[in-house]
Amino acid sequence: MSDDFELDTDDLQRRMDGAMANLRTEFASLRTGRASASMLEPVMVEAYGQPTPINQVGTVNVPEPRMVTVNVWDKSLVGKVEKAIRESGLGINPQLNGTIIMLPIPELNEERRRELTKVAGQYAEHARVAIRNVRRDGMDQIKKAKADGLGEDDQKFWETEVQELTDTMIKAVDDALEHKQAEIMQV
């Protein structure tokens, strides 16, 4: 009956890719001492009565390696954008120049770099857990199919498929973490 069992590995792959995409987003928000437009992505500005992403109220640029600028389109929002950046927890002190807000990126000290590598490690662990949860879901589907009459050879085949997919994704997480930690520690 269940000889035609087909595990949806594309769905498992898509869900694991989602965990990796989330990890990349979290890594992008970590400040490494170099300017990056993506570091402002989580910042929301109270504009026109509702929270609005900063890139929808102005143009975010990186004119030099240690400077981010935000060219606010609506002059009435300059103060609100500046306040949102100050309160974002990024540790950056905005400087106003008309409608342009300049964000000089300070040099990270050794202690702060070590803290950031630990935060990156926590983000990576969350991604690993998410990937393992997807693996568990796949293995549960295989066990259910076995209970419905899936042969032992087929069960081993699908378990191997799921495990190989999991191992590949965990390695990708580890590689991304290693790269991010090297980027953070680079002076």
How high is the pLDDT of residue 39? 80
Per-residue pLDDT of 21-40, as tens digits, reads 999 888 877 766 677 787 88
Q: What is the pLDDT of residue 29?
A: 72
Pair 47, 80: CB distance under 8 Å: yes
Average pLDDT over residues 108-135: 90
Q: pTM for this structure?
A: 0.68
Alpha helix stretches (DSSP H) within 44-150: 78-86, 110-147
pLDDT digits (tens, 9 = 90+) for 54-108: 989 999 999 988 889 999 999 999 999 999 888 877 778 899 988 899 998 877 7
What is the model's pLDDT at position 2? 44
How far, CA to CA in Å, does 116 sit from each of 26, 88, 104, 147, 180? 12, 16, 19, 47, 10
State both tokens at 129. 């857990």
* Structure confidence at residue 133 as a pLDDT band (50, 70, 90): very high
Percent of the chain clearing pLDDT 90 (strictly above): 47
Residue 80 gets which letter from DSSP? H
Mean local confidence (pLDDT), 7-25: 91
Q: Which DSSP helix (H) or strand (E) runs through 57?
A: none
What are the φ and ψ backbone dihedral angles of 74, each rounded to 5 degrees? -105, 115
Q: What is the pLDDT of residue 179?
A: 93
User: Which structure tokens are listed for 23?
Assistant: 């990890």
Question: CA-CA distance, 82 to 122, in Å (whole number)?
Answer: 30
Ordered by where they begin, the domains of the chain are 8-28+109-185 (1.10.132.20), 35-104 (3.30.1360.40)
